[in-house]
Amino acid sequence: MLKYSFRKVGQSLLLAMGVLILAFAMVRMTGDPASLMMSRNASAEEREAFREVMGFNRPVLVQFGDWITHVFMGDFGDSLHFREPALPLVLQRLPATIRLAATGLAFAILIGIPLGLIAGFRANSLVDFFGRLIALLGQSIPNFWLGLILILIFAQRLGWFPVFGADKPESVVLPAFVLSLPVMGELLRLTRSAALEVRNEDFVRTAFSKGLHRYAIYIQHVLPNVAISLVSVIGVEFGYMLGGSIYIETVFAWPGMGQLVGQALGWRDFPLVQTIVVFTSLVVLGLNLLTDLIYALIDPRIRHGK
């Protein structure tokens, strides 16, 4: 286990380094980051002064070394728009995004897994059909559009939920539901196929022949076996939700990191965008690592295999 963990941690560190290189290179992809960040009608002197302040006129490797050392000390540079350090700005927005993603994940788990279990045990039943419909729609509806439509119906016409913002406790329902839909479909599909596999195993047939109630079998015998494959997905999906809520947060004016990305792009505040991208990527890498380790912990085949 220790050896496995070390290898995984090492891989993650390498990936993290890759993230930093990529994020650094991307701002300099066009060759001139100054013209990227400044308005079109800035004068040549202003540009030169800006390059001086930002250090863009130094050799690229020096800039990179400088940026990396600052990042390691927790300094991701200053936001151009707010004129203050970018990282605290991002961290301020983190709780809202986590709340959204966690609620979405809860929706996905609470609806997707039970439906998937039932669908797996009763293939081609109504529940199965319904479940497959959810999975298909989750893949086929653009989530920001669904968000707009739900606002139109449930917030404006029916008035059940607030139109936007995060002021009320029920504000989270619509955006979290929209965010959860693709994940719900994925969990449902996985649970269904896992249940299909398990249902003919001896221990399940024994449980049935013992006369155990169907739901008791689902929960005591099938779920633990399905859970192993689900654990590996749930961590990754949570990371996806943290990084994938740009549009939803913009549509619902949810005060999280995603909304901040949208705003920062509008301001051409690239240091802030860069900070969010790097920060979110590192969080996602961390989540993936955690998932791998938990997975190895509960399934000995993983850590001893290979």
Partner 1 sequence: MANKSISHGADSRLEIESTFKDRLSYLGRLLWRDRTGVVGILIFTTVVIAAVFAEFLTPYKPLDQDLYASKMPPMWEEEGSPEHPLGTDNLGRDMMARIFYGARVSLGVSFFGAIIAAILGVVLGAVAAYVGGRWDEIIMAPVNLVLSLPYLLFVVFIASVLGSSLLNVILIFGVTNSPIFARVTRGEVLKIRESAYVESAISAGARWWRVLLFHVMPNLVGPLVTLISFQISAMIFYEAGLGFIGLSVPPTVPSWGNMLSEGRRYISSYPWLTTMPGLAIMYTSLGMNLLGDWLRDVSDPRTRRSGR
Binding site for partner 1 (CB under 8 A): 14-15, 18-19, 22-23, 26-27, 29-30, 36, 123-124, 136-137, 139-142, 144-145, 148-149, 151-152, 156, 192-193, 196, 239-240, 242-244, 246-247, 250-251, 261-262, 265, 268, 270, 273-274, 276-277, 280-281, 284-285, 288
Nearest approach in angstroms of CB 154 to partner 1 is: 13
User: In the beta sheet, which residues pair with residue 243?
Assistant: none
Q: How far is the CB of 211 from partner 1 (least distance, A)?
A: 28
DSSP per-residue codes, 172-229: GHHHHHHHHHHHHHHHHHHHHHHHHHHTTSHHHHHHHHTT--HHHHIIIIIHHHHHHH
Kindly state the smallest distance separating residue 145's Cβ from partner 1, in Å. Answer: 4
In the complex, the smallest distance separating the C-beta of residue 181 from partner 1, rounded to whole angstroms, is 12
Q: Which long-range contacts (CB under 8 A, 24 or more apart) does 89-92 make?
A: 89/260, 89/272, 89/275, 90/257, 90/260, 90/272, 90/275, 90/276, 90/279
- Smaller CB distance to partner 1: residue 2 or 29? 29
User: Nearer to partner 1 by C-beta: 41 or 140?
Assistant: 140
Q: Compute the least distance from the CB of residue 172 to partner 1, in Å.
A: 20
Q: In this structure, what is the dihedral angle of CA atoms 127, 115, 136, 153, given to the nearest 10 degrees?
A: 90
Q: Is residue 85 helix, strand or coil?
A: strand
Q: Which is nearer to partner 1, 130 or 212 (CB)?
A: 130
Joined tokens for residue 49:
């002064």
Place of tokens 């930093």: 20
Nearer to partner 1, 43 or 140 (CB): 140
Q: Which is nearer to partner 1, 24 or 212 (CB)?
A: 24
